[in-house]
Copies of this chain bind each other. A is one copy, B any other.
């Protein structure tokens, strides 16, 4: 039984193994396992792609799914996360995926929960399966990570994607560049990454990874109009033209069209945004394979 709580927890060998298994699943090499049992997906924050992606990955490897809706659960009666997960374990659930607004929500589960816990995103902390699918997409494109420059652009300080990705990319030999509004930078990140102007970033980077402006984390006000943000910190059609020939665009989605990314670039030739979504299923199948050790 192996939890997946953060990227930090994984050795480089483990990361490589997960990417290898994802590649195998992407090639269609997937036999449904009999008797894997039951999964439950506990999403305490809105999500389409992560939840649906896990639902698909679970079905594809042969898990059955016990539905869980946070809004109609006993969490409404004040039940703790531990009691909820322990209940599901006792009912016979074999693996849980949890997204929760609280950083490190999983700490309360480590001692007495005896089924694997997969972090589907914790507050502004980590989002390890998003990170792994990003790595998988980059590896697919460039064959590896050594020497690559990856620019992560936008609301760095609130982004669990930025946090997980910079750590993993550094360990795998890529160089991470940060850009975006200085108000949203995060000093703790810059130890391992360089903060540069966007116009430089788009010209240098092999991967331009745009982050979502998270209106919901800024109380509705981001201090810029969408148009202003787009011109100053967004990947505009103009900036895209200055990217290197082989460079690609990534985004964790959902995209705010014409805010961080020009509408016309979402499905342009360089964009790997929907490829990332497709890869998400294969990566999560690999993560579930590791968790359930089959």
Contact = CB atoms under 8 A, between A and B. Distances in A.
A133 to B, nearest CB: 12
A281 interface: yes
A216 interface: yes
A69 B47 CA distance: 10
A43 interface: yes
Chain A: interface size category: 35 or more
A275 B46 CA distance: 32
A91 B52 contact: yes
A195 interface: no
A52 B66 contact: yes
A215 B78 contact: yes
Interface stretch (A14-22, A157-165, A237-245, A251-259): A251-259
A278 B91 contact: yes
| Chain A interface helix/strand/loop/mixed | helix
Which of A64, A67, A88, A92 has the most chain B CB atoms inside 10 A of its CB? A92
Contacts of A71: 71-72
Which of A72, A80, A267 has the most chain B CB atoms inside 10 A of its CB? A72
A86 B215 contact: no
B281 A78 contact: no
B46 A281 contact: no
A2 B45 CA distance: 35
Given A254-B78, A277-B91, A73 B56 contact: no
A43 B64 CA distance: 21
Nearest to A83: B254
Interface string A28-58: 0000000000101001001111011101100
Contacts of A86: 274
A39 to B, nearest CB: 12
A56 B77 contact: no
B90 A75 contact: no
A84 to B, nearest CB: 6
A88 B38 contact: no
A77 B83 CA distance: 29
Interface of A: 38, 40, 43, 46-49, 51-53, 55-56, 59-60, 64, 66-80, 83-84, 86-88, 90-93, 112, 215-216, 253-257, 266-267, 274-275, 277-278, 280-281
List the 7 shortest-distance A-B pairs measured between CB atoms, nearest first.
A48-B74, A79-B254, A90-B277, A48-B73, A46-B76, A90-B278, A74-B254
25 contacts: A38-B59, A46-B73, A46-B76, A46-B77, A47-B72, A48-B74, A48-B75, A48-B79, A48-B88, A49-B74, A49-B87, A49-B91, A51-B72, A52-B87, A55-B66, A56-B93, A59-B64, A59-B66, A69-B69, A70-B72, A78-B256, A87-B254, A90-B277, A91-B278, A92-B281
